[in-house]
Amino acid sequence: MPSQQPDIIFLVLDTQRADRLSCYGYDQLTSPHIDAFAAGSTLFRNAIAPAQWTIPSHASMFTGLYPSQHQMLQSYSVMPPHVQTLAERLLAGGYYTAAFCNNPLVGVINNGLRRGFHSFLNYSGLMSSRPNQAGASPSFLDRYRQLFKRLVAGILNRVQDAFARSDWLLSLSFTPLMVPLWQTALSFKGNTRKSLEDAAKLHLQRQGVAPDQPVFTFINLMGVHMPYHPPREQIEKFAPHVLQDRDAQSYLRRFNSDVYGWLAPLMGSLDEQQKATLDGMYDAEVAAQDAQVGAFLDKLQQAGRLDNTVVIICADHGEHLGEKQLIGHSLSIYNELIQVPLIIHDSQNRLVRETVREDVVSTRCLFHTVLSLAGLATEAEAELSLEQVGTTASDSVFAEAVTPQNVLNLIQRRQPELVRSRACDQARRAVWLGHHKLIETGNASLELYDVAEDPQENLDLSEIFPEMVESLQASLAAFGTDAAAHERVFSDARASGFDDPDVRRRLQDLGYLED
């Protein structure tokens, strides 16, 4: 392929809310490095994720399809073989394709999201400084290491329990000596620093890459995902009360160890201190990750590697931190989950740098955009590139939220009343047209919001503007008909490796599977 094809870096900040980055207007300086990068890039103010959690959202970014079209809706879903992924298309177009992934749902389970990569390194779990190459047969040493990981994890669980029950040990856990140890030992979120270092090494040294061959790099970082164990210096900036207040420490320890609490709706609102604790710790994680992303980008910039590189920084979804009595990202389709950051630096300026785009766009169109910027898009795909999309007020964007079945089963067993009262078993769909957003829950509930004037979606306008509701409902109906036309029968397919004990343990640690 011609040497003018750009390198492409596709960086997903897993679980990153747009409204917690200072370049999106947050009043805390959580992201100075991303802010600086965004200033010279194209920032999309109203980017919408197609789904509220990892698998369907990544599948949409990798295929250009909405969830109801690709049907990757569950932890055990597998990509249908007739759907080509972004990496497969780039591989066929001459790219060297590599992934550096910290989320086991994307890299550990063989669900089709790894297809098309020359190399796919997984960093999730303990001993994350030694990433596993996806698909490779484990050596004796690898099997021994996995056994050792399980043994150490069991010991750490008992130690964690002791700290949660003792005020003295709890206070000790927040001392300068202990915080880094907890972060290393109890965070099952991969290794942000190592994965970024390895990705930078590939772009700088280009080992295994043919002369003049372009590189496509997918990176998934889990720094802001629960549980929260940010460095002490960031806690001092964004959640200093946690270092002095035993009640806040106790709440945080309970929260970090209560996986069910990350999944189910709350029975009531968080109190002021609890909300401040979650907000502050999340912000601290955002700031810690921002510093590492900044170091990664600076390294490439100083080496001149960004001169012919497209860099995409986005999120697969956001996170509820108590808003609307919700935690995590299992259920809703509100802005806290669906409105995500999207920043694109195009070295050729086809997406005009130093600009802010206000149009509503879908991150599913990153599939089309990458292919277009690589010179590999068909005519129809190029029309959906973000170079083109969003230029008229008539363009509609959709999102879908289907509660993961394992989460629904868990809530049904523990708190069945929540399933009914919060419609946990009902699919949610939303459509945006201009600054209006309609949410349809099941076949009964409708909510209309002016998200420009009311981004927190506090005022339901559905009874005030019935004509707008009717018009947007018609758009949802047409979307549903089109999605049904794409649907294929593969609901019984299960991703290989899903039942592996080590894989299941990693997913349980992150709250993706019930015990």
Three-state secondary structure call for residue 142:
helix
Distance CA 356, CA 354 (A): 7
pTM: 0.87
Neighbours of 212 (CB within 10 A): 11
Would you say residue 260 has pLDDT above 50? yes
**H-state helical runs in 230-330:** 232-238, 240-244, 246-257, 272-302
Q: How many residues does the chain have?
A: 515
Would you say residue 88 has pLDDT above 90? yes
Would you say residue 160 has pLDDT above 50? no
Distance CA 89, CA 368 (A): 11
Distance CA 11, CA 271 (A): 35
Give me the pLDDT at residue 489, please: 42
- Least confident range from 85-94, 156-165, 211-220, 404-413: namely 156-165
Grade residue 481 by pLDDT with cuts at 50, 70 and 90.
confident
Give me the pLDDT at residue 304, please: 96
DSSP secondary structure of 382-398: HHTSTTTTT-STT--EE
User: How, if at all, do strands 342-346 and 42-48 pair?
Assistant: antiparallel
Distance CA 243, CA 174 (A): 6
Stretch 120-139: mean pLDDT: 67
Which has the higher per-residue pLDDT, 15 or 124? 15
Stretch 277-306: mean pLDDT: 98
Stretch 26-30: mean pLDDT: 97
86 neighbors 116 (Cβ within 8 angstroms): yes
Stretch 7-32: mean pLDDT: 98
Give percent of the chain above pLDDT 90.
73
Give me the pLDDT at residue 105, please: 87
Q: Using the 8-state DSSP alphabet, how is residue 40 labeled? A: T
CA distances from 444 to 265, 350, 441, 466, 482 (A): 20, 44, 6, 15, 21
Q: Which two tokens stand for residue 267?
A: 């029975």
Mean residue pLDDT across the chain: 87
Evaluate whether the domain defined by 7-509 bears CATH number 3.30.10.20: no
Grade residue 437 by pLDDT with cuts at 50, 70 and 90.
very high
Which has the higher per-residue pLDDT, 367 or 186? 367
Distance CA 204, CA 340 (A): 29
Which residues lie closer than 8 Å to 244 by C-beta, 6 or more apart?
Answer: none
Query: Exposure pattern of 460-488 as b/e (b: 16+ CB <10 Å)?
Result: ebbeeeeebbeebeeebeebeeebeeeee
Give me the pLDDT at residue 164, please: 47
